[in-house]
Chains A and B, each alone.
Chain A
C-alpha cells in the first residue's frame, strides 16, 4: 500500500482542482462536468433538506405548522418556541448535565488517547500487535449489547445518573477510535525530528513534548471534536442510565419533551432539536477536513 501514504495527500481538499480519478484535460468525461455539477447541487439540497426543515419548522407559529399546504419558508418567523424552551428549567439543567458529561469524557479520552497513540506509534514492544488488534475488536463490541450490565455496574457503584458514571461509559466508546485516529497523526510526524532534538540534548520525553506534540495540533483537535460529537450526540446509554431521575442529557431531554405532551408540540420539538444540533453543526463544519484525514490515516496505516 505504498501509494496510499496517508500523510501526504490533500485529504478532503477543497483546494484540489484537477487530476485524481479522471484526467480533466484529456478525458471526454470533462464534457459531462456540467451535468455532474447539477446532479451534485440537487443532491446537496436533498441531503440538507431535513436540517432546513427542522429550522424552518422551529420558526413557525404553532398554528401555521398545522396548515395545508405546509409553508416552505417562515414568512412571519416566530421565536415563540425558542422562548418557551429558554424558560424551561429542565432544559437548562439538561444543558448543564450534557456539558459536564461531555467535557469530562472528552478530557479523559483525549489524555488516554495521546498516551495510547504514542505507545503504539513510537515503541516496539511485546504485545503491541495484540493491543492494535484489540483496539479494532473493541469497536466491534455492540455497545447496545452491553448496556444491561453497564447499567447494573453503575447501579452497583452508586454512579447511576451521575456525571462520572455516564462519562465513564462514554470514554469506553471514544477511546478505542481516538487512539486509532491519533496514532495515524503521530505516525505522520517523522521520528527523525525527535531524534534530532535528542541529539541536541533533549530527553526522549522532552523531545516528544517540544517537537511532536505541537505538530499534533490538528490531530488533537480532530480527536477532541470526535469525542465531543460522540458524547454530545449519544442517546442509547444516556437513555438507559438516566431512565430515572431528572438529570438528563440534551438528547434524552428532547425525548421527554415530545412524549410528555398529548399532542406533540412540533414547533417546540423542532426548536429543541435545533438548539441541540446547532453547536455541533458549527464545530463540525470547522474541523471536518482534519477529521476525515485522521480517519483515513488511521485506516491506511497499520
Chain B
C-alpha cells in the first residue's frame, strides 16, 4: 500500500508541474506537508476547497505514456478526463495521515459530506487511490445515487473501484442508472467480468418498459444482455 501511495502521488505531482505555476506548486507543497504532519483538519478542509484558486481548472491533458504509467502504479487507474484542480485536490487527500483508520475515515467522511459538485467529482475519482477502500463502499453507492450526472459519472465511468468492490446489487443498479441517464456503458470498467444473470433480467425488463413507452433502447444494452446470459 505504502509504495503504491508514494508512486501515485508522485505521478500526479509530475503531471501538475506541467500546468501549475511556481507559486501554485509552492502553495500545494506547503499544504501537503502540513497535512501529512497532522495539521488541524481545518487546514485540510480550507486547502481542499481553495485549490482551484491556486491551480486553475484546465484539463490535465495526459499522454498515452502518462496513462500507461498510471495503470502500472495502480491497476485499472485511468485518469483520462482529470482536471488540474481535481488532481491537486486528490493530492491533498492522499497526504492525509493514514495510520489511524477511524480518524482517516472520519476526515474523509467529513469532506465528502460537505463537498460541492466539483469536490465530489474529485473525491469519487480518487476512490481507487484511497486507503481502506472496503470501508468506502457505502459512500461510493451514495455517489451512484446522485442526481448530478457529473457526480454519478465520476464513480461509474473510467473508474476501477465499482467493479472491484461493489456487490451485485450495487453493481446492477449502477449499470441500470448509467443507461437511464445516458452514460456510455463502454466507459465502465469490468463490464464483461461483472456481467450476471440478474443483470440480464433487469436489462431485458428495462428494455421492454422503454419499448412499451415507444422510447429507444441503447444498442449497448443488448450487447450487455448477451454477455450476461452467456455467463449464466
The answer to whether A and B assemble together is no
